[in-house]
Amino acid sequence: MLNWIWYISYFLVLFCLAGYGFHRLTTLYLYLKHAKDVPVPMRRYEEDELPVITMQLPCFNELHVIERLIDHVSALDYPKDKLQIQILDDSTDETVDICKAQIERLHRMGFDAEYIHRTDRTGFKAGALENGTRSAKGEFLFILDADFAPNPSVLRETIHFFTDPKVGMIQTRWGHLNREYNMLTRIQAMFLDGHLELEQTARNRSGRFFTFNGTGGMWRKSCIEDAGGWEHDTLTEDMDLSYRAQLKGWNFVFLKDIETPAELPVDMDGFKSQQHRWTKGSIQCCKKCLVDIWQSGYPLKCKLEATAHLTSNFAYLALIVLCFLLYPKQNYGPQWEILVKYPWLEHFLNVPIFFFGSVSVAMFYLMAQKALRPKTWYKEVFYLPILLALGIGMSVNNAKAVIEALCNHQTGFVRTPKYGVGEGGQAAAAPVKSSRYKTMKSMMPLIEFAFAIFFSVVVISNFVDAKYLTAVLLSPFPIGFLYTSVPSLYRMLPINSKNEANAIVDEGK
């Protein structure tokens, strides 16, 4: 009986993961179906009727990147008399002095610039935005995180969509300043390209819900107010506000052809910290918004898409469960007489599940690269196995975030360290190595490393037993867990902790 329970549980988990893979294929279908449905503004503002825009720049201890952001904002191609710049600073370090100096520079350049510094970080980023909106002069608010570097034309390219009074938010597609900095940034870029190029485009153009990405987009102030304003009971205030606004009847527009470049996290700890926050926040939004979505008058297709979107991170829990089921299934599964006689019959279950669970994911991210880089997309094929392995390796980190959200375990908004890596992928090695901006250490890398050891043994045992196909299919598990655990464990070594402390002292001097 126990063997049957293990075996059935194994396939149930695989069906669950395959379901999310099937959803990626439906997203890909919608993307291709609506490829020609490019959004266009209702009309264009004349030069003399361009509305006032407030640039909101929330930041917290962004020593390495805040100056770059302000340089780019000051170069925006938009009338100065129609532009207000707000630096919403919660910093506790030298970033405060840099921001004050930059505000003075903006004033000398003729900008209407405001510096708002909070010593009480209530609400974190959502609280800073809520506080800044009270004194915002523009009816439209363009939000940029400190690690972004907007193109000069971004305001003129986006503002005209607000000539439609029903449009409440416009999101641009993120670009990547440091895509080729290292292997990790390259894989992250592929993850984000899939989300932004395919998912957001398919959702928006097919009339489904889609969400603000937290930065690189513009809001109508009255839309924010109508939706209830910024709330900080989740870690993804952007997703929360987006669903509340759309449930109020506001329309959103995603502009995939307008790129706003940003810097990707360059180290594993920073990446895991960011993913933990995004994953936990999405589950918090799921608990908060999903019932309201199903009680709304929106079509079934919108409700199903929102459900798939808000529950997608439960796949990490399923992946962890799968990790505990793989080995028993291989060795103790029930021996049906027909399978003993015809072992190839089991592939009727395994092959479709593998296709929807893995092949569909590879197709999804490869299509995103083909859309964005039509001449060089094939070069990204090499990185697909690493992308799949990293997704598996992140399961411990992200499953923890899901459990914390389900258990209402409250944690603060942990910023993702950014180091001012140069545009075009130019390395900024010194800031990366010496920066005091490091993510908090935890014991999770030890758990990830234990998973890596376990699956290494499983893969090796399959090779020894001449189960070569199984060994190859399971190889992403040890690779993924090694990839996520070893860099974190290396930084936890006493000698590295001592060097990090010395670097902080030197940087302070």
Per annotation, catalytic residue among 89, 90, 147, 193: 90
Q: How confident is the model at residue 222 (pLDDT cuts 50, 70, 90)?
A: very high
User: Catalytic: 89?
Assistant: no
Tokens describing residue 407: 């258990």
C-alpha 202/C-alpha 195 separation (Å) is 10
Is residue 286 a contact partner of residue 310, using CB atoms and an 8 Å limit? yes
pLDDT at 101 over 70: yes
Q: Which residues pair with 176 in a beta bridge?
A: 262
C-alpha to C-alpha distances, 491 to 211, 314, 432, 487, 498, nearest whole angstrom:
35, 29, 13, 6, 10
pLDDT at 505: 33
pLDDT at 424 over 80: no
What does the pLDDT average to over 84-101? 96
> Percent helix, strand and coil across the chain, each rounded to 5?
60, 10, 30
Instruction: Return the CATH architecture of domain 45-301.
Output: Alpha-Beta Complex (3.90)
pLDDT at 356: 65
- pLDDT tens profile 120-157: 989 999 999 999 999 999 999 999 999 999 999 999 99
pLDDT at 434: 47
pLDDT at 358: 79
pLDDT at 348 over 80: no
Is residue 68 a contact partner of residue 262, using CB atoms and an 8 Å limit? no
pLDDT at 508: 37
Q: What percent of the chain has pLDDT over 90?
A: 72
What does the pLDDT average to over 262-276? 94
Q: How confident is the model at residue 360 (pLDDT cuts 50, 70, 90)?
A: confident
pLDDT at 425: 45
Q: How far is CA 412 from the centre of its chain?
A: 18
Tokens describing residue 289: 């918004």
pLDDT at 402: 96
Q: Which residues pair with 114 in a beta bridge?
A: 86
Tokens describing residue 1: 């009986």
Q: How confident is the model at residue 341 (pLDDT cuts 50, 70, 90)?
A: low
User: Catalytic: 257?
Assistant: no
Q: How confident is the model at residue 100 (pLDDT cuts 50, 70, 90)?
A: very high
pLDDT at 506: 41
Sheet holding 217-220, edge to edge: 112-117, 83-89, 53-59, 140-143, 217-220, 167-176, 251-262
What value does the mean pLDDT of the chain take? 88
Helix or strand run (H / E) with residue 473: helix 468-474
pLDDT at 340: 57
pLDDT at 330 over 80: no
C-alpha 147/C-alpha 64 separation (Å) is 9
Q: How confident is the model at residue 327 (pLDDT cuts 50, 70, 90)?
A: low
C-alpha 238/C-alpha 244 separation (Å) is 10
**pTM tops 0.75, yes or no:** yes
Q: Which residues, 6+ apart, have CB-to-CB distance to 464 below 8 Å?
A: none
Tokens describing residue 61: 């201890």
Instruction: Output the CA torsion 237→243→248→252 (10° steps).
Output: 100
- pLDDT tens profile 81-91: 999 999 999 99
Tokens describing residue 68: 């770059």
Q: How confident is the model at residue 338 (pLDDT cuts 50, 70, 90)?
A: low
Instruction: Output the CA torsion 122→260→84→145 (10° steps).
Output: 20
Q: What percent of the chain has pLDDT over 70?
A: 87
What does the pLDDT average to over 414-427? 68
What does the pLDDT average to over 185-213? 96
Q: What residue segments make up the domains of the chain, in order of their start?
A: 45-301
Q: How confident is the model at residue 422 (pLDDT cuts 50, 70, 90)?
A: low
pLDDT at 442 over 80: no
Is residue 449 a contact partner of residue 488, using CB atoms and an 8 Å limit? no
Per annotation, catalytic residue among 89, 238, 267, 269: 238
pLDDT at 430: 41
pLDDT at 21: 87
pLDDT at 414: 74
pLDDT at 343: 58
C-alpha 274/C-alpha 265 separation (Å) is 8
pLDDT at 335 over 60: no
Q: How confident is the model at residue 478 (pLDDT cuts 50, 70, 90)?
A: very high
Helix or strand run (H / E) with residue 114: strand 112-117
Sign of CA dihedral 238, 212, 164, 303: negative
What does the pLDDT average to over 442-460? 92
